[in-house]
Amino acid sequence: MRSHSSLIVTAAALLGLGLSGCGGSSSSDDSSSVAVDDLPAGRYVVAVGDASAPTAGKYYAAGDGTRLLVLSDGDDRATQTYRRAAGQSWQAVPATSGAPVTLLSHSVLPGPSPTLAVASIAGNYIAPVGNGKFARFAVGADGQITAGATACKLSGRLTPSALPQALNAKLTATDCGDLPTTTEGSLIADDDYAPARFRLVSDDDRRTLELWAYAE
């Protein structure tokens, strides 16, 4: 089990944390654009939705206007993401009705929110990808992701991100069941994700996908 702070919802068992998806219609239409409450630069635990049964999430904000909001279910699996590139509009994945997202509450995560160095993630990792299966991969100091000796091959590239404690991520999945071939998103390395080294949340403009990686 991951040892989260008291601000985070209870985590699921280790093997239950794999690459999860949430289906939805294509975000190529206007339903993908949505308004989300803005917060100053930093990292936050937030709650949205029904006040009697709120949905918890993490909110990452950069000084240049880049934003990422990841909402999770009761097992701390990502179910919905909202992202905004600098100078652009918020986008929802999966696409939603377009109703504004209002934050019921927000709490600043303790500790500094520095820019994450690509080289700090270098190492060998294993990640559950669902159905009891795993993928091994290595991350080089240059951010290159190289697939290991498992049937599911995960490869790609990490680059610097303006978001705190995050990197930009492009991921390619080969022979990984029904996982999309190519996704883009963010690698997030919050301390409260331990024992996971990082969480990767990406999408193919239709589904939100999540990968928890553990150092080998």
For residue range 53-101, what is the model confidence (pLDDT) as tens digits? 999 999 999 999 999 999 998 888 899 999 999 999 999 999 988 789 9
How far from the centroid of its chain's Cα atoms is residue 130's Cα?
16
Residue ranges, the chain, pLDDT below 70: 1-31
Q: What are phi and psi of 45, to 5 degrees?
A: -95, 130
| Per-residue pLDDT at 14 | 33
Give the residue among 152, 169, 151 at the shortest CA–CA distance from 160.
169
| Per-residue tokens: 51 | 């006040």
* pLDDT score recorded for residue 3: 42
Quick one: which H or E segment has residue 40? none
| DSSP SS3 for 165 | coil
The rounded distance, in Å, linking the Cα atoms of 149 and 135 is 8
pLDDT of residue 176: 85
Helix (H) or strand (E) run with residue 138 in it? strand 133-139
- The whole-number pLDDT of residue 74 equals 81
Edge-to-edge strands, sheet with 42-50: 91-93, 78-84, 67-72, 53-61, 42-50, 103-108
